[in-house]
Structure formats: structure tokens, C-alpha cells
Homo-oligomer: A and B are copies of this chain.
Amino acid sequence: MGRNRATLADVARRAGLSKTAASMVLNGREGTRLSAEAHQRVFAAAEELGYRPNLAARSLRTRKTATIAFVSDIVATTRFAGDLIRGALDAARERDHVLLITETQGDATFEQYAIEAVLDRQVDGVIYAAMATRRLTVPPAILGGPVVLLNATSPDGLPSVVPDDEGAGRAVATALLELGHRDAIALIGRNRLKEDDPEVSLAARARLHGIRQALEEADVNLLAECFCTEWLPEHGYAAMRGLLSKPKRPSAIICMNDRLAFGAYQALGEAGLTVPDDISVISFDDDPIAAWLRPSLATTALPHEQMGRRAVELLLDDGVAEPALVPMPLRRRRSLAPPAG
């Protein structure tokens, strides 16, 4: 890989100058007193030789690698990971940086290994990402340098980027209220574990809080709240069936995520009910299936790509103290309608 590359010494020789001069010119150093002609000659020589600096040599001296570590608990499981990475990748490229990716798989040994691997490579900073929004404790070893938490918070008060789930909760409830839904709104996806243990989820509690807040302000009570052990389609399906077996049918359903909503759709379809004419559905995440469903599912989007960006910005750009609570835009789709009758 890349032997025969021209070195700085080659450039200097060709330009008839010293390595020092060549280095200074190519790095655009201010305050150097090299002549315009010297600049010319160096640039020309570099151009002609196709010179590219050896970053290993450079970082040996400068202790900078233009490399960011992206350490996450689980890359693959969720399809959102890709967006998080892509956002980070884009922002990193704009700043001439590159991403070193490792995965801990939630395993302490792997984590240890990942941390060592990136520290050994002298990365300029670490983005420590969780695939589900939650609280976590970062290994002390990385605290020696800049760290940003992505989709996570920590007790240490490190800078972090998380989605505004509470705002999304309010937006979701408000959207229904505005359509005229009142006391026949049901909620699918309550989950004590997720709501009470911040190390499992921060989203569940925040979403719930946002929903309740908006409803309270409108003086509306939930018709029903269904608990689900997981947020998967089958649980949404079961919950929806449960709701439909009760005397009072809801006019609208809020699902804690799109997979639950997908399950709810299935149960509604089987029951011969139509979305949104019989029942409106709204949800969280904006998983791709939300747009694929018939009718398309209204939901609040997890802005993963933007979060990835934000994390890089927080890490590399100093002086950005902007809020790292990233808004979750509401996607209004066809699953919403005013209550029937």
C-alpha cells in the first residue's frame, strides 16, 4: 500500500530548498519569511511529485492523527446505526478527519480492547455511542482526551447528543389533540424497565413525560395504557387486540415506536378496522417501515444523521455550546384523521 510515495525531502530537493522551508510552505505557516518565489517552487514540486504527507510521521511529531474513534455498543442490531455513522462521517470529512470504528458489544472485555486499540492509535477524540438512547458510564481510560457521548448521557456530565424525546412526546399528543381527539386516546408501549432504568432507556420516560404533559395541559386523560415487555411488532399486535376487546374503542393510538405501530396495524387489519377512518395511529422513530405501511404512518423522526454530525461538531469545533438536544421532526402522514363521528 503506497510505497514509492514522494517524501517531503524529495519535494524540498526538487524545489531547491530545505525540508524546513517545504514543510512551512505546505502547512501554510504564517509569519514565515519565505519568498513568494520559494512558495511557488515548493507548490510546484509538490504538485509534480504528487506529494502527500505521511500521516504516521506527522502524528508521531504532532500527536494529532485527524482521526476520530467511533466506539459504540452495538453497530449492527438496529438499522439506525448506519445513519448515526453516516452523519458523523460527513461531518468528519468536512473537517478532514476520518472515523475509526469499533464495537464493544456491551462486553467489558471487548470494550477494554476497543479502548486500547483506539488509544494506541492516538485518536484525537472519541465518540462514544449507544444504539438505544440511555445513560452509561464511560471507561475512565478515554477521559484523557476529548469525548462526546452520542445518543447517551453519563453521570460525569460529559458533552452529549441526544434526541428530544420529550418534545416528540408533546408533538405526538398535540397532533392528536389538534385533530379533535380527546378522551379516547390509547397508549401502547408502557414499560417499567425502560421507564425506570436510565441505563436501559432514556427515551421511554421522556416520551411518556412529553405525552402526559401535553395531555394534561389540554385536560385530557388517556383512555388506556398498554404495557409491553418489548417494543416489537408482536407486542404491538397483542396490545392492540387487547384494546379492541374492550367495550370502548379508542379513536387514536399512540405507539411508543414504529414497530409497535406495525403490530397494531396488523391487529387492526385483522379486525377489519381502517386507519385512519376508524382509528388514527401515531408513533415514534420514523423507521423505514413507517413510510411503507398502508396507510403511511405518522411518526416523529429520530434524527440520527444529524445527531452523528452534531457529535463530531461538538468534538472538533470549539466554541459550539449549542444545545445538543436534537429535535425530532414530526412526519405527518396518512394515519391521522379527526375522530369518527
Interface, chain A (partner B; CB < 8 A): 1-3, 52-57, 59-60, 63, 65, 67, 70, 75-79, 81-83, 85-86, 89, 93, 98-103, 110, 113, 116-126, 142, 144-146, 232-234, 237, 259, 262-263, 266, 269-270, 288-289, 292, 294, 305
Contacts and interface: CB of A to CB of B under 8 A. Distances in A.
A268 to B, nearest CB: 11
A336 to B, nearest CB: 19
A60 B55 CA distance: 9
Nearest to A308: B76
Contacts of A113: 93
Given A52-B119, A98-B117, A118-B98, A76 B305 contact: yes
Number of identical monomers bound together in the oligomeric complex: 2
Given A1-B145, A82-B79, A266-B294, A102 B89 contact: yes
Contacts of A270: 294
Given A76-B83, A101-B89, A122-B1, A57 B60 contact: yes
Contacts of A81: 82
A89 B117 contact: no
A99 B100 contact: yes
A55 B79 CA distance: 33
Given A54-B60, A79-B79, A100 B103 contact: no
A97 to B, nearest CB: 9
Contact of A121 (B67, B79, B144, B146): B67
A59 B234 CA distance: 51
A292 B85 contact: no
A89 B75 contact: yes
Contact of A55 (B52, B101, B121): B121
A78 B305 CA distance: 14
B65 A123 contact: no
Contacts of A1: 63, 119, 122-126, 142, 144-146
Nearest to A272: B272
A262 B54 CA distance: 50
Given A93-B113, A100-B100, A121-B67, A2 B145 contact: yes
A125 B266 CA distance: 47
A294 B126 CA distance: 42
A99 B101 contact: yes
Contact of A233 (B3, B124, B126, B292): B292
Contacts of A119: 1-2, 52
A125 B98 CA distance: 16
A189 B102 CA distance: 37
A110 B98 CA distance: 13
B98 A144 contact: no
A85 B76 contact: yes
A202 to B, nearest CB: 22
